[in-house]
Structure 1
Amino acid sequence: MTEALPGVNYQGPPRHASGSRGGRGDHRDVQTSRRDRRPNRRSKRSRRPLIVAAVAVLVVLGALGAWTVKNDGYLFGLRTPLAAADYEGTGGEPVTVEVPSGNGYTIGAELAEQDVVASAAAFVHAFNANPDAAAIQPGTREMRLQMSAASAVELLAQNEVDRSGFTVPEGYTVDQIKQSLIDQGWPQADVDAAFEDIASLLPPEADGEPEGWLFPSTYAVKPDQTPAAEVVQQMIAETTSLLDALEVPADQRETVLIKASLIEREARMAEDRPIMAAAIENRLAVDEWLGIDASLLYGLGRTSGGLTSAELADGSNPYNLSVRGNKGLPPTPIASPSRASIEAVMNPADDPEVFFWCTVNLETGETKFANTQAEHDENVAELHAWMEANPGWNG
């Protein structure tokens, strides 16, 4: 059967007398007219490969874009405009930096704050790309301002640490500081004696409790030259001097150090500290539980790790600030806070609505803040999703 063309009333070719020129001419005219009115199927077929190719290109570009974002803005090892800020070269003026213990982001955040690298994210990328980075040790290091992240990692991986002094990292507890003194050569008997008599070295507002009063810094002391008690005295004097400089009243100093120590153990980014300080003040103002896990961990004698339901429910632990624990602040600081954390307590963010925070990425330290319980629950769910995607991660 002859297929009828749309829009054409097709009856078949007209019949003419055999050998009629006019008939053949008429027949050709009719056929030509009919062909002219047929849809251009060949044109449509020729466009299909182009459309398929265009879609394929878009899919590839989308995949490359997603891969680039996932890899911190790098594509096959090359920087793209999506990459985090980074300097070029090996840096300018020399600078002394206290390299903290921790993962690549912890180190990168400190270097970015000191303007050694342009961003913590760029440092993390360079850290992950350098197989020697895992051997980087904390301590006092001679570096340069505005180094490329790659050159900063390379320099740190050489581990040329200045061992001429004693370094107290930010966020260390009294027990960690004691062990560090022993590990670096001070006789254990002298260290034990120094801490047994520490109440005589503390100001009255400390009420005999040294936690939080041993300022994190590097001290020009050596085991064979400086008694342990003198080192401890220097740490306490440094804290007192800073509180004097910030004009913290004596009757508020212990409270300021408690709040600052909570922030020190929770914050991973400098910009988060004032917001955390605001959240603490807002919750205390309405008599809400603080719910800070770092405090409960301290009460359990730990500085990291997960918490069991039984531990969260144990209200007898005075450092348990969960809803089944204790309201208000813990009885003492939980670590040695940095100047940045102390200043955050003295100058919290102007945000009367913020009540919650949750670190949603344990590797980068990304923290999200929330005003409502519902928003906070979403952030907690994001953290749980990250943990499921990174089983066994321990930074």
Structure 2
Amino acid sequence: MTDRSPDSGASAPDSGRAGAPTRTRRNLTILGVLVVALALLVAGAWQLVIPMLRDADDPVTDYPGPGSGEVSVVISDPTAQEIGTTLAEAGVVATSQAFVDAYAANPDATSIAPGTYTLPQRMRAADAVLALLDPANRADRTLTIPAGWRETQITAKVAEVMGVPLADVEAAAEQVELPEGATSLEGWLYADSYTVSPGQTPLDALQAMVDRTVEVLDERGVAPEDREETLIRASIVEAEVADAEDRGRVARVLDNRLEGCADVGRLLQMSSTVAYGLDKAVTDLTLADLDDDSTPFNTYVFEGLPPAPINSPGTTALDAVLDPPAGDWCYFVTVNLETGETRFTDDPAEHELNRAEYREWLERWREEQSAAAGDAAGEG
């Protein structure tokens, strides 16, 4: 008999309808998880893409530093823009503009000098400015030759600055290509400051000095056949006096002597040439030295100019020789080598008085030097 009560047989259909919402919630949960995961994935990817897009729109303008590696750069034009371009091309700084800005921010930057520098790459621009101001980063060296130095002094300086044996420089001196008419290397090593770059040889350094001498003479319109004589005259002027005005007067005395003066003829009577020939200091000369005919540089014995320059003259001596003032002086003497006071005259008698005054000064000076040496020995 079939039970037809209200509760009978109703449980099966009701159970089927109650299960549908449960599956729907489960599906929604799974879908939600997938959506969240996808969102996280997209967000993560976006975080990777954004910097790439940012770098494309906003490239690096300055490295964070401190840099690494090593590169050699040559600074020829020490202006901010030119240095920046050079450093950027070498990979030292990120951009030229970064260096220009750092240069403007450092008041010492204008002291950056031309030369060859060894620097790290990928430096902060401000650090690059500081590095260029540090002499320790210079790969080259400065070779300075004072006016009036002899060849022996110059070759010794080249050896010192370049860190090579003196014998190597002396050997190089024999290989220098001299201009036509030059009798020796003496006088042709122009007094100036030179940059010695890595890889340069002593021969390169010496040849640069000779080439510079030719350049300076050419700038002043000196004919090739007159170069050697001009250097000889200028070297005497350089050795005799320091004052620019006195140098012009000494150059005029040389002209007058070579044309012939009353009681000395064409004898120049220059102590500087005698000292050079005997390899002495002027203050060490004796009266006997003035009569020594063993050297052609003794202009107290031999008439006319000596056979070669006696040092490397500077521009003021050269200019004095090329454009001396008018004057009839045939004599001069520096009566005090410490002050440089020099007397000029055309009167032989007055000249002898001036020479006597010099000898008195020299005697006092020698006594002071002797006393000082004795005191130093006593202290030792």
Report TM bin, short chain: 0.5 to 0.7
Amino acid at match of 2:236: L
Partner of residue 267, structure 1 = 241
SS of structure 1 residue aligned to 2:333: strand
Partner of residue 181, structure 2 = 205
**Structure 1 Cα separation of the partners of residues 168 and 230 of structure 2:** 30
Partner of residue 253, structure 2 = 279
Residues 42-191 of structure 1 mapped to structure 2, 5 A cutoff: 164-184=141-161, 185-191=163-169
Residues 283, 362 of structure 2: 8 Å contact kept: no
Amino acid at match of 1:338: G
Does residue 297 (structure 1) correspond to residue 280 (structure 2)? The answer is no
Choose from 228, 232, 244 the match for 2:218. 244
Does residue 320 (structure 1) correspond to residue 298 (structure 2)? The answer is yes
CA-to-aligned-CA distance 1:243-299 (integer Å, 9 cap, x gap): 101001111111110000000011121111110000000010014210001101111
Partner of residue 170, structure 2 = 192
Amino acid at match of 2:267: W
| Residues 248 and 387 of structure 1: CA distance in aligned 2, closer, same or farther (over 3 Å) | same
**Structure 2 Cα separation of the partners of residues 295 and 242 of structure 1:** 24
**Structure 2 Cα separation of the partners of residues 204 and 376 of structure 1:** 39
Residues 191, 314 of structure 2: 8 Å contact kept: yes
Choose from 355, 360, 368 the match for 1:385. 360
SS of structure 1 residue aligned to 2:336: coil
Amino acid at match of 1:308: T
SS of structure 2 residue aligned to 1:165: strand
**Structure 2 Cα separation of the partners of residues 277 and 311 of structure 1:** 24
Tell me how far 1:374 sits from its aligned partner.
0.7
Does residue 255 (structure 1) correspond to residue 224 (structure 2)? The answer is no
Choose from 360, 365, 373 the match for 2:340. 365
SS of structure 2 residue aligned to 1:387: helix
Residues 295, 334 of structure 1: 8 Å contact kept: yes
The structure with the greater share of residues assigned to helix is 2
CA-to-aligned-CA distance 1:22-55 (integer Å, 9 cap, x gap): xxxxxxxxxxxxxxxxxxxxxxxxxxxxxxxxxx
SS of structure 2 residue aligned to 1:283: helix
Choose from 289, 292, 314 the match for 1:311. 289
Residues 190, 227 of structure 1: 8 Å contact kept: no
| Residues 393 and 285 of structure 1: CA distance in aligned 2, closer, same or farther (over 3 Å) | farther
Aligned residues: 229
Amino acid at match of 1:272: D
Tell me how far 1:393 sits from its aligned partner.
5.0
Tell me how far 1:189 sits from its aligned partner.
3.9
Residues 174, 210 of structure 1: 8 Å contact kept: yes
**Structure 1 Cα separation of the partners of residues 294 and 216 of structure 2:** 34
Does residue 345 (structure 1) correspond to residue 321 (structure 2)? The answer is yes
Choose from 204, 207, 215 the match for 2:190. 215
Amino acid at match of 2:330: F
Amino acid at match of 1:260: A
**Structure 1 Cα separation of the partners of residues 325 and 368 of structure 2:** 32
**Structure 2 Cα separation of the partners of residues 385 and 303 of structure 1:** 18
**Structure 2 Cα separation of the partners of residues 362 and 346 of structure 1:** 25
Deviates more, 1:259-268 or 1:310-319: 310-319
Tell me how far 1:205 sits from its aligned partner.
1.6
**Structure 1 Cα separation of the partners of residues 363 and 286 of structure 2:** 17
Residues 147, 312 of structure 2: 8 Å contact kept: yes
SS of structure 1 residue aligned to 2:319: helix
Choose from 193, 202, 205 the match for 1:231. 205
Tell me how far 1:378 sits from its aligned partner.
1.4
| Residues 391 and 193 of structure 1: CA distance in aligned 2, closer, same or farther (over 3 Å) | closer
Does residue 336 (structure 1) correspond to residue 312 (structure 2)? The answer is yes
Tell me how far 1:188 sits from its aligned partner.
2.7
Identity of aligned residues (%): 37
Unaligned runs of 5+ in 1: 1-141, 143-159
Unaligned runs of 5+ in 2: 1-110, 112-134, 370-380
SS of structure 1 residue aligned to 2:196: coil
SS of structure 1 residue aligned to 2:299: coil
Tell me how far 1:193 sits from its aligned partner.
2.1
Higher alpha-carbon Rg: 2
**Structure 2 Cα separation of the partners of residues 190 and 389 of structure 1:** 43
Query: What is the TM-score with the length of structure 2 in the denominator?
Result: 0.57
Residues 212, 261 of structure 1: 8 Å contact kept: yes
Q: RMSD over aligned Cα, in angstroms? A: 2.2
